[in-house]
Amino acid sequence: MKNEITKVMFNEEQIADKVRELAKRIDDDYKEGTLLVVGVLKGASVFHSDLIRQIQRPVMIDFISASSYGMSSTSSGAVKIDKDLDYSIEGLDVLIVEDIIDTGLTLKYLLENMLARHPKSVEICTLLDKTARRKSDIDVKYVGFQILDEFIVGYGIDYAEKYRNLPFIGVPKNVD
Ligand code: IMP
Ligand code: MG
């Protein structure tokens, strides 16, 4: 599998350093109250599990899974929830954890969906951000790395369900 990667973009150590840095910011920002850290399946599962273990304050966790309607690989903005949260988020501080934000249309939908449930607050934490491709005006409070418009895999992120278990983030061969 590793020989199908042309370039390592972030190695294990760089990712671990970034995860610790983000967790520190989160600890500094949420001094009290109940913090619910919501992972967006499946891509963010690896980042989510590393991030929560670097956060020192108590957290609750939950997961949500959403997908775009239609066959197009570029997101149209029409999103459906495939697996919803297990619990009510009313009155809670919610942190949505995402692997990568591209157009931002998926997250915009999720954000609006969450806000309709009357949480105390909602913020977004993404490991990777392709800012140049953003089509929605969402405010992302915690960003790990800004990257250019290059297709990447690993550390939970897939190409056709492959490469999620690579411990680093890299650019695969033969993807267009
Ligand atoms: P968007 O922000 O609604 O356009 O969609 C973001 C989703 O597209 C991410 O959660 C990923 O599932 C997928 N995605 C975007 N860029 C990449 C990439 O470089 N590699 C793999 N998946 C990607
Ligand atoms: Mg995703």
Overall size of the chain counted in residues: 176
Strand pairing category for 142-146 and 79-83? unpaired
For residue 75, pLDDT beyond 70: no
pTM of the model: 0.94
Q: What is the position in ligand 1's atom list of the atom closest to the CA of 74? A: 4
Average pLDDT for residues 4-24, to the nearest whole number? 97
- Tell me the per-residue pLDDT of 80-120, one tens digit each, with 9 for 90 and over: 999 999 999 999 999 999 999 999 999 999 999 999 999 99
**pLDDT at residue 135, rounded to an integer:** 86
Residue ranges lining ligand 1, Cβ < 6 Å:
43, 75, 98-106, 151-153, 157
* Top mutation candidate among 79, 81, 100, 125 for ligand 1, by most atoms within 8 Å of CB: 100
Q: Is 176 a catalytic residue?
A: no
For residue 19, pLDDT beyond 90: yes
Average pLDDT for residues 35-60, to the nearest whole number? 98
Distance 42 CA to ligand 2 centre (A): 7
Asked if 129 and 146 count as a contact pair (C-beta separation under 8 A), the reply is yes
Q: Which ligand is nearest to the CA of 149?
A: 1
Q: Which ligand is nearest to the CA of 107?
A: 1
For residue 94, the cross-strand partners are: 36, 122
Distance 43 CA to ligand 2 centre (A): 5
DSSP conformational letter for 95 = E
**pLDDT at residue 176, rounded to an integer:** 63
Of the pLDDT bands very low, low, confident and very high (cuts 50, 70, 90), residue 76 is: low
Average pLDDT for residues 22-35, to the nearest whole number? 97
CA distance 24 to 19: 9
Distance 176 CA to ligand 1 centre (A): 14
